[in-house]
Structure 1
Amino acid sequence: MLLRLDVNNAPYTYFPPDIPALQVDRRLRADFPGDQVFVLFFEGVALYSEGFLQAFDALARNLAEDSRITRVLTVTRQDHIAPTEDGFEVAPLLDVEALAGTTPADRRRRVLADRFARDALVAHDGEGLAMIVIPTELENSLQRRALQRDILAQVRRYRLQGYLTALAGQVPLDVAELESMLHDNMVFIPATTLTGLVLVWWLFRRVLAVLTAGLVTGAVVASTVAVYVLTGQPFTLVSSIVPPLLAALTLATIIHVFNALHDASRIGLFGPARMRRALQAVQRPVLYTSLTTAAGLASLAASRVRPVAVFGLISAVGVLLVYALLRWVLPAFLGRLDRRPWHRERGGLRHLDRFVRRISRLGIRHAGAVLVVTGLALAAATPALWKITTETSFLEFFRPDHPIRRDTDRIERRLAGLTSLEVLFTAPDEGGLRRPGRLREIRDFQRWAEAQPEIDRTLSAADFVEEMNWAFHGGRDAARRIPDDPKLVSQYLFVYDGDDLYDLVDEGFTRGRVTLNLNVHRANRISAVMERIRARLAGIGDLHWEIGGFGRLFADMEDLLVQGQFHSLLGALVLVFVLMALLWRSVGEAALCMLPNLSPVLLIFILMGLAGIWLDMATVMIASVAVGIAVDDTIHLYHGYRSRRRRGASPVVALARTYRHAGRAVTTTTLILCAQFFLMTASRFVPTAHFGLLTGVGLLAALVFDLLVLPALLMALHGRRGRRRATSAG
């Protein structure tokens, strides 16, 4: 079943179908080629030689025959409008059939003089040539990767690999994300699982424990990923976090069972009796920790970024599956096989017991000081929250030395920027874009756009009309403008027999687009450009206009992320609070347990502000995930404290005994989780590294608050009776 996984990180997978940017993009694609392309950049000393150009053109023609490719643009396939004695002609910019009568210098001059090729198909200094490959709308990222590999194979076939110095564009960027995602899964799923299993061995020194943890983890991860197949959901960049996350959560949960088995073993139980005793001890807190973790993850369904919402829901299913396995499958397995004792002195548990006792005693004995210092520290760090930036750049998901970063920088230094925006103009009447006045309005907008620092190049049908008028008037520079006579415009368009014009306007001349090449890749900067465009076009006349293209899709996704962050975090807090209120049957106790778990979330955001980590597609999920996970330890600890208080123990004794029994388990699970998440910081893929770092820090902070601040809160609320009994109880 996993072989049927739809691995797809294409931009369309991230949007709900009713989002305006997606609807505009669909309207654009109904008439015009896509703007998500491959850009291959060739450099070398013989670029304009007959041999290179013939191989270059043969490569382009071969690629154009591929059913997965819509268009291939090169200087050998570009329309060139030139003056003739009786008007103008449209011919290939470089005709490979007529190279014999020209020199390399002639060809270079001709290419550089062409307004349509310059900075798009040829570098501004003439020392590089581009090939732009426009694919069809492929179904998923795996198909995009397959096409990229086939393109590179064809480059090698025509022996041009020595000239190819860069490969960039939206599609290669998607392929790079896919390959990083697959690499991280291949590395970090086994690495995090192995780390957890090693820690299980260090703690319990039982082969049975390691084997059980490995089997349950494998079953949970495989089954959860299979949900993507069963529901037909794409497995995206966001989804790639599911396997290591579920592996970590599964191991953390099963540690509580092992710890309970260890305690049952100490009183002489074995086999089914030991398992029943352990299950009785952990069943209720594990159920509620599973529910709260699932609630925190499921709250991400509030996000309108579809992969984020799906990630939350499917991860929540995985967490509930963990509980189901531990509740109904594991007892039968361990009840039959677990016959040996769980010796405390042979494992690493005694070191953890000592650590937990020291930290919790500090909170019990110096409750006031702990609460004051903690409050002051949080207050002092709170201004860092205002430094958080909501920003996303797919390109900056990669380190500066990654090939996609280097290739993009290389191409953008020599050609126009690779971020695409489009403005779709629709005339109120059939053929309305033939009117000179409307063409001038479009051309005036282009001149304004080209003056913006973020926009390197624009192109529209108005450029072609200007070029035809220039050629018709013998190539005089003064004639490179839109003619006043509408009949002359119609005549030009009637005579034009090329293809490139109709990439920019429909055949009825009612709908046309202006393409814009931006040199910025961050969502906020693209949004700022779009706001200026909207202001500029507000008074354009009777033309209807819409902004579309990859740039708008990407920038609008940033807005969805911000909205989703607020709603999902609020949803997580509300759901967790309600579940704890049901668990304790007390709103006050639920509020008390929420306090230690709000501060770690605050620390995550403080760290983001101090470290300059953006709130983006990866980090937007962390707060909700951390809330759901961090509250687990609080539930285990407060459940033990509450049970002992109900049996008549004083606050000090109840706390000391709770931390002696449950403190070890929560510390163990948190350390395992942190070790697994911190392992992800070794990733070269920035979203994976940031997710691991921030989640690990959040959970580590939650542990400190549960061991130090929670007992201080309970002492502050319930008094210090029985302090003298703490030492003997601990």
Structure 2
Amino acid sequence: MKTSLIASPRHTLARLLWVWRWWLFLAGCVSAIPLAIYQTDLGMDRSLAAMFSPTDPTLIQYQHLQQTFGGNLVVMLVYDDAELMTPEGVARNQAWTTSAESIDGVRGVLSVSKLVQAFAYIRPQFSLLTGSLPSNSQAPPPPSKMLAKDDPVANSFRDLFAGYTHGQDEKTAAIVAMLQPGQTESAIAELRRLADQIPSERAPVLIGEPVLLDDAFDMIQADGNRLAWGTIGLLSLVMMLTLRDYRVVLLAAMAIVWATLCTRASIVALGMEMSLVSTILIAIIAVIVVAAVMHIGVRSRDNSNAPGESNTSESIVRVTAFLAIPILWTCLTDAGGFASLLNSQVRPVQQFGTMTAVAALAIVAALVWFTAALMSLPSGKRTPSQPAQSYQTPNLLKRFLVHLVTTSLRHSKLLSIVSIIALVLSTTMVTRLRTETSFLSNFRETSGIVQAYARVEQQLGGAGVWDVVLPAPETISPEYVSRVQTFENKLRELEVVDSSTGQTHRLTKVLSLADADAVAAQSPLLSIVTPEVRLAGMRTAIPTFADALLTFDPPKEGGTRELRIMLRSEESMPGKVKRELIHQVAQLTHEFDEGGLVTGYSVLMSQLVSSLLRDQWKALAIALALVGILIGIATGSLRYSLVALLTNTLPVMLVLAAMGLAGGGLDLGSAMIGAVSIGLSIDGSIHFLAGYQRARSAGVVVVVAATDAATDVATPILLATLALVIGFGILMTSPFIPTATFGMLIAATLAASALINLTLLPAAIVAVDRSKHSYCKLD
């Protein structure tokens, strides 16, 4: 049998690495210095726009909304006040409103106290007809007429903003802050401090999609750090306890550090930033490094302790020659698997694909720099005068592994057929899994975030903020206002039934300046003027709110005026229901005017999660194609490539199908599971195929070659898998559900991959080789 690329020992390369080992070590250490300095410029982009491709139509519409109306980042500072609609309650509201307005990054504020100022335009505190003024100018101003319970106009005005600035029961207040794009992070931090200053008995909370996203970033960053340190710590502990070789731990640590610095510096050079999904980068690097180093450690131990061998340069050269090419191809296939994410329409996923592909290549360089030098250090385990312990007698684990592999080989055809059927069935089940696109569902029900939203949705009617943008005439006419009001009534009548629960969902609030104009027209004085005049007066009273809903200034050349309708919906609405409601709103909008847009923060968040889940199937297909091509080139066999793809696809499909049977669904945590799991699990397949083809080239019969190759790689695979399962299992306690889901799925997939690489892979290889090679019957 002709030796393949991954099975051919490269003794010349290994000897060169040995001769130049200390120069390579020095080069690696010196090169780390500029990399460490350069990577300090790496930042993190927390903006929602950074998660989309610049050409994404959803993002373009959202940016149009921002450019036209000055931003759409809305957060609400909500608190309880049973005396809200009293002069004292308004005074408290005014104080906190003023504090919110003074925060850098807050473009404008709408609150009850702002409504009092606006209502003075509709119902002045003095009579414009008689000109009478309060007799005592030093006396406090009388209570606002907006607070009057017996004034129909005041009641209509308060009802108009119920759900925005206050609850229907008028005992819950909401200070609505419109944030300036680019300053959201600092503004949210200051608003949190303001919320902390409000007495705790008023139960102040800060909510809104920007807050959700900010909290998600904080949690994911914490989870990423915890995963990185936990994985590295556990892997180091496992290596020390099992191999008892400090050199392996030192090699892993230096390779991880150098590859991380190189990757982060490359990110800066490519003009990218860290994002929502890239916080697990260090953990991914650690996984790839340790998988490679574990093979080196086990092989070095077996060579140095075998009868007649010692830890000599020849032993190290032999180990390097034996593993260099398989490790290289493992890293290349890792890079190919991760590079499949470049096809995603979600920018952070694209960038993550670039980062991890670069990291896989950087790991190759790191191992070149440090392996020969560090592994040539004294092992410290025994002196030359001490006899070497024999590692030739099979222990209980090895006997079990041999029995497991041989049992699989006896039933190779049956196992191969069953695996293909299992792959088809599990893939069919996975394609039918429900998808969860509600961003609020990413947090645990017991978290303060979910509880705050539940309170807001109960008292204010809904925390999901989105918009409809309509073309408007140069002059707002009564006919146009009437059309808009009719359109808004149709929006209020929309209903979507959740097929799983039978619950009916609808928009909880529809608000525009057309509604404000209708209230203002109830004033005898304002009823005689045109809507354009009334809206201009409204702009004078509450300029920020008015400018956020209508373009008053003359449009640019060739442009038109636009009217914005603010929509509210339940943030906890199931993703499928929300998508259907968005679709129905879009249909009505296009019926009103084909130039109308449906956009906003809530729409973007729904589209983001949907895009992630949609792109995962493309990424998985591309990952399988790239990995299959690379394995085909490395092994020189299309049959082996197809078998490797089968054994590396089956684990993730089985795990996802099991999750579906347990009642779970696809969410942010499973969006990249396919490509990531392929990249992480391919290591065992590459090393098995290398060992198998090496044995076949030496004339070993098929079954014996498969048995020897599987048992040879079993120890490093099982040791690395044990540590990784525990490491990723740490994430299952995360308060951010996608992180917990990702940790659970990766841990389960790696465990399944280890078992399949030691059973199904040898059996499938034997099955496909039976027709071309002689078969030795098992005893």
Structure 2 vs 1, CA of residues 117 and 651 (structure 1 numbering), >3 Å: closer, same or farther? same
Are residues 1:615 and 2:675 paired?
A: no
Equivalent position to 1:596, from 639, 642, 647: 647
What is the CA distance between 1:195 and its match in structure 2?
Answer: 1.2
Query: Which digits, 9 at most, give the CA deviation of each residue in 1:78-130, with x for residues without a partner?
Result: 222534666899xxxxxxx9566579985899688513331211111111111
Equivalent position to 2:468, from 423, 437, 461: 423
Moved more, 335-344 or 230-239: 335-344
Aligned to 1:361: 406
Equivalent position to 1:678, from 726, 729, 733: 729
Structure 2 vs 1, CA of residues 50 and 661 (structure 1 numbering), >3 Å: closer, same or farther? same
What is the CA distance between 1:456 and its match in structure 2?
Answer: 0.7
Residue 564 of structure 2 aligns to a residue in which SS? Answer: strand
State the alpha-carbon separation in 2 of the partners of residues 348 and 308 from structure 1: 48
Q: Which runs of 5+ in 2 are unaligned?
A: 1-36, 132-138, 495-504, 555-560
Q: Which amino acid aligns with 1:448?
A: K
Do the aligned partners of 1:82 and 1:88 also contact (CA within 8 Å) in 2?
no
Are residues 1:406 and 2:451 paired?
A: yes
Structure 2 vs 1, CA of residues 400 and 98 (structure 1 numbering), >3 Å: closer, same or farther? farther
Aligned to 1:388: 433
State the alpha-carbon separation in 2 of the partners of residues 181 and 87 from structure 1: 62
Aligned to 1:250: 289
State the alpha-carbon separation in 2 of the partners of residues 588 and 463 from structure 1: 69
Q: What TM-score do you get using the length of structure 1 for normalisation?
A: 0.88
**Equivalence map 1:554-569=2 (5 Å):** 554-569=605-620
State the alpha-carbon separation in 2 of the partners of residues 493 and 379 from structure 1: 62
Query: Which digits, 9 at most, give the CA deviation of each residue in 1:285-342, with x for residues without a partner?
Result: 1111111111101110100100011111101111222222112322122224446469
Do the aligned partners of 1:70 and 1:134 also contact (CA within 8 Å) in 2?
yes
Moved more, 22-31 or 221-230: 221-230
Aligned to 2:478: 436
State the alpha-carbon separation in 1 of the partners of residues 621 and 389 from structure 2: 42
Structure 2 vs 1, CA of residues 99 and 399 (structure 1 numbering), >3 Å: closer, same or farther? farther
Q: Which amino acid aligns with 1:82?
A: I
Aligned to 2:78: 41
State the alpha-carbon separation in 2 of the partners of residues 449 and 103 from structure 1: 31
Are residues 1:524 and 2:576 paired?
A: yes
Moved more, 3-12 or 341-350: 341-350
Are residues 1:25 and 2:62 paired?
A: yes
Do the aligned partners of 2:159 and 2:168 also contact (CA within 8 Å) in 1?
no
Residue 538 of structure 1 aligns to a residue in which SS? Answer: helix
Residue 511 of structure 1 aligns to a residue in which SS? Answer: strand
Aligned to 2:204: 165
Residue 114 of structure 2 aligns to a residue in which SS? Answer: coil
Query: Which digits, 9 at most, give the CA deviation of each residue in 1:433-457, with x for residues without a partner?
Result: x122222221111111112332111
Percent sequence identity over aligned pairs:
22
State the alpha-carbon separation in 2 of the partners of residues 88 and 309 from structure 1: 68
**Equivalence map 1:191-590=2 (5 Å):** 191-267=230-306, 268-338=309-379, 340=381, 350=395, 352-375=397-420, 377-378=422-423, 381=426, 384-427=429-472, 430-431=474-475, 434-452=476-494, 453-472=505-524, 488-493=530-535, 495-496=537-538, 497-498=540-541, 499=543, 500-508=545-553, 510-521=561-572, 522-540=574-592, 544-590=595-641
State the alpha-carbon separation in 1 of the partners of residues 435 and 576 from structure 2: 8
What is the CA distance between 1:683 and its match in structure 2?
Answer: 1.9
Do the aligned partners of 2:613 and 2:668 also contact (CA within 8 Å) in 1?
no
Residue 618 of structure 1 aligns to a residue in which SS? Answer: helix
Residue 399 of structure 1 aligns to a residue in which SS? Answer: coil
Do the aligned partners of 1:653 and 1:722 also contact (CA within 8 Å) in 2?
no
Query: Which digits, 9 at most, give the CA deviation of each residue in 1:389-437, with x for residues without a partner?
Result: 233222111100111111111111111312122111113x533xx1222
Structure 2 vs 1, CA of residues 351 and 472 (structure 1 numbering), >3 Å: closer, same or farther? farther
Residue 437 of structure 2 aligns to a residue in which SS? Answer: coil
What is the CA distance between 1:553 and its match in structure 2?
Answer: 1.6
Q: Which amino acid aligns with 2:91?
A: Q
Structure 2 vs 1, CA of residues 713 and 152 (structure 1 numbering), >3 Å: closer, same or farther? closer
Aligned to 1:69: 106
Q: What TM-score do you get using the length of structure 2 for normalisation?
A: 0.83
Moved more, 120-129 or 179-188: 179-188
Do the aligned partners of 2:419 and 2:650 also contact (CA within 8 Å) in 1?
no
Q: Which amino acid aligns with 1:116?
A: L
State the alpha-carbon separation in 2 of the partners of residues 722 and 108 from structure 1: 96
Are residues 1:138 and 2:175 paired?
A: no
Moved more, 71-80 or 489-498: 489-498
State the alpha-carbon separation in 2 of the partners of residues 51 and 441 from structure 1: 40
Residue 595 of structure 1 aligns to a residue in which SS? Answer: helix
Q: Which amino acid aligns with 1:465?
A: D
State the alpha-carbon separation in 2 of the partners of residues 219 and 99 from structure 1: 69
Are residues 1:117 and 2:117 paired?
A: no
State the alpha-carbon separation in 1 of the partners of residues 511 and 660 from structure 2: 40
Q: Which amino acid aligns with 1:178?
A: F
Query: Which digits, 9 at most, give the CA deviation of each residue in 1:221-270, with x for residues without a partner?
Result: 34434444443423222111222222222212210111121122124232
Structure 2 vs 1, CA of residues 346 and 209 (structure 1 numbering), >3 Å: closer, same or farther? farther
Structure 2 vs 1, CA of residues 696 and 571 (structure 1 numbering), >3 Å: closer, same or farther? same
Q: Which amino acid aligns with 1:241?
A: I
Do the aligned partners of 1:225 and 1:243 also contact (CA within 8 Å) in 2?
no
Q: Which amino acid aligns with 1:266?
A: N
State the alpha-carbon separation in 1 of the partners of residues 692 and 205 from structure 2: 63
Q: Which amino acid aligns with 1:261?
A: S
Do the aligned partners of 1:112 and 1:126 also contact (CA within 8 Å) in 2?
no
State the alpha-carbon separation in 2 of the partners of residues 532 and 112 from structure 1: 28
Aligned to 1:93: none
Structure 2 vs 1, CA of residues 298 and 347 (structure 1 numbering), >3 Å: closer, same or farther? farther
State the alpha-carbon separation in 1 of the partners of residues 390 and 768 from structure 2: 36
Residue 465 of structure 2 aligns to a residue in which SS? Answer: strand
Do the aligned partners of 2:506 and 2:569 also contact (CA within 8 Å) in 1?
yes
Do the aligned partners of 1:262 and 1:344 also contact (CA within 8 Å) in 2?
no
Aligned to 2:191: 151
Q: Which amino acid aligns with 2:192?
A: L
Q: CA RMSD in A?
A: 3.2
Q: Which amino acid aligns with 1:531?
A: H
Are residues 1:129 and 2:173 paired?
A: yes
Q: How many residues align?
A: 700
Residue 115 of structure 1 aligns to a residue in which SS? Answer: helix
Do the aligned partners of 1:524 and 1:555 also contact (CA within 8 Å) in 2?
no
Aligned to 1:478: none
Q: Which amino acid aligns with 2:228?
A: I
Do the aligned partners of 1:48 and 1:105 also contact (CA within 8 Å) in 2?
yes
